[in-house]
Amino acid sequence: MKIGLILIAIALSGLITGLAFATPLMLSELDVKPWIHHIQGPTADFEIEIIFANFTVLNPNEPTSEADDLSVKYQVWLNVTNPSGLGATLLDVNFAAAGEITAYSGPPLIGANSSGGWGWEAEGALVDDKWYNLTWVNGTYPFFDRDGNMEPSPFEIPWQTGYWMEGVQLYQRHVNGTIVATYLNMNGTWTDVTDRIVLEERDHGSGHSLKDVVADQLRIFQKYVPDASNASVVFDSDGNEIQVPSVIDVGNGTEVTVSVDSLSGTIYIQAGEGYFNNYWKPGESRIVLIEGSQKFGSWVNFNPVGVLSSGTITFKTITFNSADTDFWLGNNTVQDNWSYANELKTIELTKENNSYIYNMALVEKYKFSVDEWNAEVFLEPR
């Protein structure tokens, strides 16, 4: 009997030990992506002005009812000045030309017959009087079908999933211009917390709505650029290779081929030492080149030739730069040293054969050349 009692005691001791090892991990034992605190630092506020533009219509007599039958080739010169006492690096230029462009502040302009939403991250959220500030990130923001039912997103991004983070992820869905629901990512599960959450007032920033777009381009200046021979490979700004899926299943047996330049008009300019110099010294002024072509076909509901021949067109130009100051302050704190410059400008166009030109007098007065990176324009008096 004593031997039996001893064996039972050993078994119970082993069970207790096993239970001890099965207790949940403490927060300090988790590999958690820390919340980064941002403070405002000094900035170099650029000044920008479009000084010349030329739009040439290719195949102008072809109807736009056939795909790829009409193109508009454009060249735009953007004068970029750094009036500040700090040097700064130009990171990108966002340009559009359209029949109508409207600027707005606050949440994105939402059509009367549309639905969608926007997501963001916050340091924490108060739900049912309970504070949440830690979550498991298990995918992208929620995806909804046309009936408003939440579905698994067809566009999962592998390197943006599968980790703990300090802070929370939030998402608001709108229908016909009205916010109808707020969702909180609760440890990998998007949960409807509408009317249960206390939200701080958010700065939605500003944006533009565009109608009858004739040209649209984003120019990104960075040292590492996508490999044109392999559309499935891109690099981040530090040179780390990222694999991009070439084919994505969007459901119902439909597959979409994706390349790194799927966003129409995205141009990468190799910049840095040995390449295009995208550093502006204090007081420096230079001319940045924006050029490309835009195709039109049966998918558009306007005539681009009609927009150009109307005599006026509106430009939207935004530059993004970072000032030459300390960014990382330690203790999970950074100081924001970046700034935007905006120009919204309606101009008159002069027709010359199949071209529509702004400021023809400039090229009549100056000869111009372009650098080897197709990024900068140089002027010389004639």
pLDDT in tens, 16-42: 333 333 334 444 556 899 999 999 999
**Residue 130 included in any domain:** yes
Number of structural domains, the chain? 3
Average pLDDT of the residues in 79-93: 97
Does residue 250 register a pLDDT over 50? no
**Residue 311 included in any domain:** yes
Residues 282 and 376 in one domain: yes
Residues 123 and 95 in one domain: no
Residues 219 and 91 in one domain: yes
**Residue 10 included in any domain:** yes
For residues 119 and 153, the answer to whether their CB atoms sit within 8 Å is: no
Residues 138 and 87 in one domain: no
For residues 244 and 258, the answer to whether their CB atoms sit within 8 Å is: yes
321/288 Cα distance (integer angstroms): 14
Residues 375 and 308 in one domain: yes
**Residue 9 included in any domain:** yes
Residues 29 and 64 in one domain: no
**Residue 254 included in any domain:** no
125/290 Cα distance (integer angstroms): 43
**Residue 97 included in any domain:** yes
Does residue 196 register a pLDDT over 70? yes
| pLDDT over 90, % of the chain | 49
Residues 139 and 194 in one domain: yes
**Residue 274 included in any domain:** yes
For residues 323 and 86, the answer to whether their CB atoms sit within 8 Å is: yes
159/244 Cα distance (integer angstroms): 10
Average pLDDT of the residues in 118-123: 90
Residues 77 and 143 in one domain: no
Range with the lowest mean pLDDT among 63-67, 125-129, 306-310, 365-369? 63-67
146/225 Cα distance (integer angstroms): 36
What backbone phi and psi angles, to 5 degrees, belong to 135? Answer: -150, 155
Residues 68 and 91 in one domain: yes
Beta bridge partners of 143: 151
Residues 274 and 168 in one domain: no
Q: Copy the structure tokens of residue 2.
A: 């004593």
Residues 333 and 270 in one domain: yes
Residues 274 and 368 in one domain: yes
What backbone phi and psi angles, to 5 degrees, belong to 105? Answer: -120, 150
Is 93 exposed, middle or buried (CB count within 10 Å of its CB: 0-12, 13-18, 19+)? buried
Q: What pTM was estimated for this model as a whole? A: 0.75
Is 333 exposed, middle or buried (CB count within 10 Å of its CB: 0-12, 13-18, 19+)? exposed
**Residue 253 included in any domain:** no
For residues 310 and 237, the answer to whether their CB atoms sit within 8 Å is: no
Question: Which of 106 and 307 is assigned the larger pLDDT?
Answer: 307
Q: Is 275 helix (H, G, I), strand (E, B) or coil?
A: coil
Range of the domain at 14: 2-33
**pLDDT computed for residue 337 by the predictor:** 95
